[in-house]
Amino acid sequence: MVLRTNTAKRNFKKFKCYSKSRLLKPHYMKKQSLYYIFLCIIILADISCTKIDNYPGPSSTLQGKVFDALTDSTVQTEYGGGGTRVKLLETSYSSNPTPEYFQCMQNGAFHDDKIFAATYNVSVEGAFVPVIQTDDTGKVLIDSSKNIVLKNTATVNFWVQPFLRIEWVGQPVFNPDSTVTVKIRITRGTDNPAYQGNVTDINLYVSNTANDGNNNYDPRYSNLHSYGGTSGNSLLGQVITITTTGGALPPQDIYFRVGARIASGLKRYNYNAVESIQYP
């Protein structure tokens, strides 16, 4: 009797477990189906929210030059953040747009062929009297910026007053010891007393590339001079003679340029054009 009772119990348990699994299976499958349906809904919703960026990229061109208002020659500058830059304000959609910038080339020209077609306010910033001037309250006194509608290509030129004007006096000359001597003349480029700060630096830059200036020069041969107070102002209008330092220059292509600046604003440099002479 005991054995039959235990066997019956075991059979009953197997039947109970089997019946339970048979009863639970449809419920499990229903839950699984709901899970997959829910997952598909999420995937489809994500796909429907995804937009393909099929708008054309910027392809309009803005170009021009920055000229000296007195001489009509371009205002020389340097590559990079220390040089002249172009400021763009896109006024198509906002009266208070975020400014965009791009740099001028060192010869005073600028060119950018990756700009969106739109309406812009264009100005330039550099070592010259600002094209937009304001008083202490922010009121605009002078505004020489340009408003343009850029579609394909636009040419915009500016005439400015550089803080300093630097001119070569003759060509650089090789000395018997293979150093080089240059002569220059520096004058003020504006009569506006607000932009006639003291001359603080006059530097002869030497480089093995034509990209010559305060951001790219060989310190072994360049000759840098700083001035305190008003001492540098006495050199204005004079013929200044500067010789390279560091002994004989190497027998290779060498480029020369003079940069000078005043104590004003961001203290950007004014330059003359790059010169190069053949090694004797």
Segment 190-220, tens digit of pLDDT: 999 999 999 999 999 999 999 999 999 999 9
Write down how long the chain is: 280
> What Å distances lie between residue 170 and 181, 182, 184, 203, 270, CA to CA?
11, 8, 8, 17, 19
Residue 12 has pLDDT above 90, yes or no: no
Neighbours of 236 (CB within 10 A): 16
Q: Which residue has the higher pLDDT, 191 or 51?
A: 191
3-state secondary structure the chain: CHHHHHHHHHHHHHHHHHHHHHHHHHHHHHHHHHHHHHHHHHHHHHHHHCCCCCCCCCCEEEEEEEEECCCCCECCCCCCCCCCEEEEEECCCCCCCCCEEEECCCCCEEEEEEECCEEEEEEEECCECCCEEECCCCCEEEECCEEEEECCEEECCEEECECEEEEECCCCEECCCCCEEEEEEEEECCCCHHHCCCEEEEEEEEECCCCCECCECCCCCCEEEECCCCHHHHHCCCEEEEECCCCCCCCCCEEEEEEEEECCCCCCCEECCCEEECCC
Q: What average pLDDT does this structure show over 138-160? A: 97
- Picking from 26-40, 44-58, 164-178, 239-253, which range would have the lowest pLDDT averaged per residue? 26-40
User: CA 239, CA 266: separation in Å to the nearest integer?
Assistant: 27
Neighbours of 181 (CB within 10 A): 14
- pLDDT (tens digit per residue) in 153-198: 999 999 999 999 999 999 999 999 999 999 999 999 999 999 999 9
In the beta sheet, which residues pair with residue 176? Answer: none
Q: Which residue has the higher pLDDT, 35 or 229?
A: 229
Of the chain, the percentage scoring pLDDT greater than 70 comes to 80
Task: Tell me the whole-structure pTM to 2 decimals.
Answer: 0.80
In the beta sheet, which residues pair with residue 277? Answer: 254
Residue 38 has pLDDT above 80, yes or no: no
| pLDDT for 8 | 45
Residue 14 has pLDDT above 50, yes or no: no
Of the chain, the percentage scoring pLDDT greater than 90 comes to 75
Q: What average pLDDT does this structure show over 132-155? A: 95
User: CA 164, CA 85: separation in Å to the nearest integer?
Assistant: 18
